[in-house]
Amino acid sequence: KTDEIILFEREMKEFWTKLKSIYGTEQINQTLALRDSCKESIKALSEKWSKKLKEGDLMMDKIQEYSDEILQQTQRISENQEHLTEIKSNLNQEEEQKKDLTDSIQELKEELMKKKEILSSKNKATKERMERLCKSKVLFEERLGLEIRRIHNEQLQFIFRHIDHKDPDKPYVFTLSINEQGDYEVTSCTPPLDCVAELQLKVRETNNFSAFVANIRKAFTALSYK
C-alpha cells in the first residue's frame, strides 16, 4: 500500500506539472480562486435560503396561528349571532305579550266603562223612581195615613199609622229598595206579613205601585184584627 501511495503522489505531481505547463500557474490560481469564490457564494446562498426557509416556517406558523384565531373568532361570531337571534326572538315574544296585555287592558277598560255606564244608568233610573215615589208622599200621607222616609242605601221606609183602632199611633213599617235588576224589593217588614212575596211579585209584573202600597196597608189592617 505504501508503494501505491508513493505511486499516487508521483502521478499527482506529474498531473500538476503537466497542468501547470499547459495552463500556467496564474490560470490555476484563478481557477482555484474562482472555485473558492463559488464555494463562498454557494455557502452564502445556502445560508440565505436556509434563513429564508426558517423565516418561511415561522411565517407558516404565524399564518396557522392567525388561521386558528380567525376560526375561533368566526365561531364566537356565530355563537353571538345565535345568541342575538335568540334575544331578538325573546324580544319579539315579549312585544307580542305586551301587545296582548295592552289589548286585554283596553278591553277591560272598555268593559269597565260599559259597566259604569250601565250602573250610572241604573242609578239614574233608581233615583228617578225614588223621586217619583217621594213625590207621591203627600198623596199617600193624606189618603192612607202614611209617612215615607228616605234612609241609607237609597231605601224608602213606609210607616203606616191609624191602623190599630186600639192604638192609632202604633207604627206598621216596611222598607223598600230597588235591586240591581231594577225591580222593587221589600227588605224588611214589621210586623211580618205572609203575603209580602206575593205582593212584591205582583207589583213587579204590573208596576202599579199605588195598588201595592194600598194592598200592604190592607194586609196590616187585616193583621191588626187577628
Q: Containing H/E element for 180?
A: none
Same domain, 156 and 134: no
Residue 57 has pLDDT above 70, yes or no: yes
Instruction: Please give the pLDDT value at position 165.
Output: 87
Last residue of a domain, one of 142, 157, 190: 142
Same domain, 88 and 109: yes
Residue 51's φ and ψ, nearest 5 degrees, are -65, -45
Is 165 strand, coil or helix? coil
| Better-scored residue on pLDDT, 218 or 86 | 218
* 173, 193 contact by CB (below 8 A): no
Residue 1 has pLDDT above 60, yes or no: no
* Residue range 100-124, pLDDT digits in tens: 877 878 887 788 777 777 767 766 7
Last residue of a domain, one of 142, 167, 195: 142
Domain that holds residue 176: 145-225
Residue 211 has pLDDT above 90, yes or no: yes
> Is 171 part of a structural domain of the chain?
yes
